[in-house]
Chains A and B, each alone.
Chain A
Amino acid sequence: MTTDLSWLIDDRPAEGVFRVNRAIFREPELFDLEMRHIFEGGWVFIGLASQAPAAHDFFTTRAGNVPILVMRDGEGQLRAFVNSCPHKGAQVAQTQQGNSRLLVCPYHSWTFDSAGRNRGIKWQRAGCYAEGFDRDSHDLAALPHFAEHAGFLFGSLAADVPPLAEHLGEAARFLDLVVGQPEAGIELVPGAVTFTYDANWKLQLENCSDAYHFTSTHPSYIKIMERRQRGEGAVAVRSVWAESQAWREEAEGVQGGSYSFDHGHVLNWGRIGDAESHPLHESAEAIGARHGGAGRDWVFNMRNLTIFPNLQIAENASSQLRVIQPIAPGRTLMRTWCIAPKGESGAARRQRIRQYEDFFNPSGMATPDDTIIYESCQRGHASRVDPWLQGYARGMTASREGGNMLSDAIGAAPARSVLADSQLCDETLYHAYYREWARRLGPLLP
């Protein structure tokens, strides 16, 4: 069943129209549906396999509002559970990470092994339980679906979802190249950074893919890069940004573009190029040997990947993994890490970290200008006078069905693509977000 959603998403490709109603950022009823049917009703990113590398390692996270526990058992098998005791609901794992053969619920001491099996109900024989109790499983509830792709773990709290490979589709190819994906794998640099902003989660979803805002929102960051290039600023924080053409308005020719995929995943990219200050510079040869020349060239582009709805990986002078966690229509929690190839040199890791802190942190010189703008947009979205936003129209006549020679070269087949000069700054890639949003929520709306 499909429902007419045109009062929220005005999608008329034949007429060259795509508009989004401010209501989708604001209305509590829509937010409740998003939480139930997107974040708690389909595939979401829940962590990296390298967060629980050894037998009996575990880490905790959330899917929507639901606490999640990911554990590796004694045989090395990873599983994901609802982190909630079947007895009374308390979390059986209390910490963000740990290692334990047995998890004992702190409320009434029900005990579970690292495969999630119930290993003990305190004073069970004396408990005068009836037969009905014995017919229930007392194990931790496993997520209906849990799967890995290239070290990235995804789970679904709903049973009726397609296999992960189908959900990721052609976007999976871009996970295969994150930070050059060495044979040793990928990891999170120790030190998680968490911040909130008082605006809707979809503002973060969009901004990650927004090539149009950089020179407008971040001129102060560009000013610092130019200062450092002149040798006036922090010498310890050299950056490939300073050497890049991607954000220079006068740069000519193809400077980047966008790809969009089925199921709401999108990617935008821009040229940076290999440079000595790039943390992957030392690995260029190894990346070429593993992923081919086109794969090697690709990882030296600036690129922002969104795996709908909650995973974003931003790679430029450094590399960030972001998890979007909606709290309320006007409030979002962001959990962020520096993601890195395992086994890179100390010098490259240091360079990656320094560039990360300056650009990506809420204590840095770029991200706060984004989040403060989201809050500004959210205040603006109270308006019903002019409900239709006009931020989805750039690139309409440049968007092509299928990929292009650059995606062909790395063996990816996106649903749509745009090749851009430095000023095109495609906005049609957001259409993929909202078409998926409409596909998921449409049947539920009146």
Chain B
Amino acid sequence: MTLTRAEAEELLYREAALLDDGLWDDWLDLYTEDAVFWMPAWREEETPTADPDSELSLIYYEGRTGLEDRVVRARSGQSVASKPRPRCVHCISNVMVVRSDSETAETAASFVVHLHDVRAGRSHAFFGRYHHRLRREDGAWRIAGKKILLLNDMIPAVVDFYSV
């Protein structure tokens, strides 16, 4: 059975809700052990970086352990940037199933994440596009790869896994 758009939307919306609610253990559970999490930087105005081995990314992890590190840090109480946690809401739209067979699938979507940093009294939004690679594990679709193309990459002090 191939991935339907309704299933794709369900998964992306669930991921968004878990990030917004700070339920990061459940969020990690959506990812496969070997998941690649990638937010490229930009070479110049119109071209994002394409090769994480020879070009800089904003975030690049091969394997879920990299994301686990990020969750440990964000929850440590020892990162002043991470606490108090900014309030955020992920708005996801334009969801498409780009390709699917019975075991793997790729989806494309657009996102806007609205953030409010209470300490600074500052609200802003990050926006861009997602490309997810999904894989069926134990009967459920899991995220084997997430590429986040951040379009407004002049970053107000902080951007973290939960704010894009």
Contact = CB atoms under 8 A, between A and B. Distances in A.
Interface in B66-94: 66, 68-70, 72-73, 76, 78-82
Contacts of A346: 53-54
Interface stretch (B38-46, B101-109, B132-140): B38-46
B128 interface: no
Given A196-B154, A198-B122, A350-B53, A96 B44 contact: yes
Nearest to B50: A190
B56 interface: yes
A234 B36 CA distance: 12
Interface in B111-164: 119-120, 122, 153-160
Given A95-B45, A195-B156, A232 B59 contact: no
A369 B80 contact: yes
A293 B155 CA distance: 41
B63 interface: yes
A234 B61 contact: yes
B79 to A, nearest CB: 4
A372 B157 contact: yes
B72 A196 contact: no
B66 A362 contact: no
B52 interface: yes
A236 B80 contact: no
Interface stretch (A140-148, A222-230, A305-313, A404-412): A222-230
Nearest to A225: B69
Given A190-B49, A236-B61, A354-B60, A362 B44 contact: no
B58 interface: yes
A234 B33 CA distance: 11
B65 interface: yes
A236 to B, nearest CB: 5
Interface in A368-407: 368-369, 371-373, 375-376
Nearest to A349: B54
B68 A192 contact: no
B81 A371 contact: yes
A20 interface: no
Contact of A375 (B44, B53, B72, B120): B120
Contacts of A205: none
A338 B56 contact: yes
Contact of A363 (B45, B58, B154): B58
Nearest to A94: B45
B120 A223 contact: no
Interface string B1-15: 000000000000000
B62 interface: yes
Interface centre among A197, A236, A362, A371 (most CB of B within 10 A): A362
A232 B40 CA distance: 25
